[in-house]
Amino acid sequence: MGSAISNEAEAGRQDVLDSVIGHEYGFRVHRIEPNSPGQAAGLQSVLDYIVVANGVRLDHDDGNFVRMIAENKGKPMRLCVFDTHTLRTRETILTPNDDWGGSGLLGITIRFDVAQDLSKHTLHVLDVFDDSPASAAGLDAYNDYILGVGDLLYDGPDEFGEIVMHNENRTVRLYVYSVRTESVRDVMITPTRTWGGDGYLGSSQSQ
């Protein structure tokens, strides 16, 4: 019985992957500012795609969503958001305003993009070595998953490594999902080869 339910759930997940990933478009959420309307709406960096706003499908980057945001300043907007982790959609309320303490009406960075398979740009943090950049940044061994670097989504560990090397001695923003909190957080880290151990980050990852 349990096996049958598990198989059905996996089949359903695969159906969603096949029908949505690589086919459906929306606005992927990247950076979310603290205390912003985007944070208040419960949006999550990298995982979330805004696909519908006030009943309007956002499948073209034609400026319509930006206009809607400006026109609804101070008014609640009903969003439909697709979560690439759960492969489910949810509704949330987002109220654009300019008095939350930061710049912009939403306090988020978004990019029009096709829905992508989360597994292709997710790295599981394994060992985190003492006195390393990873340790200083607060990466949590075996509980954290790196989803993206700044506005870049890498395709596997090799591309991630290239991005890290390119940013040696420069502070970069990682988007990290924690299984402890079931949420995404920003992690600032400075890759360097001079921390006293191997590699630039002082942590090992696997896909």
Tally of residues, the chain = 207
Instruction: Report CA-CA distances (Å) from 116 to 85, 93, 109, 181.
Output: 10, 24, 18, 23
Query: What is the spatial distance between Cα 4 and Cα 177, in angstroms, rounded to a whole number?
Result: 30
φ/ψ of 144, rounded to 5, equals: -105, 150
DSSP H stretches of helix in the chain: 2-20, 37-40, 64-71, 133-137, 157-166
Residue 30 annotated in ligand binding = yes
From the CB of residue 166, how many other CB atoms can be counted at a distance below 10 Å? 11
Please, are residues 166 and 155 in contact by the beta-carbon 8 Å criterion? no
First to last CA, the chain: 31
How is 157-176 classified by DSSP, letter by letter? HHHHHHHHHHTTTS-EEEEE
Which residues fall in the annotated binding site for Zn(2+)?
Answer: 30
Which residues fall in the annotated binding site?
Answer: 30
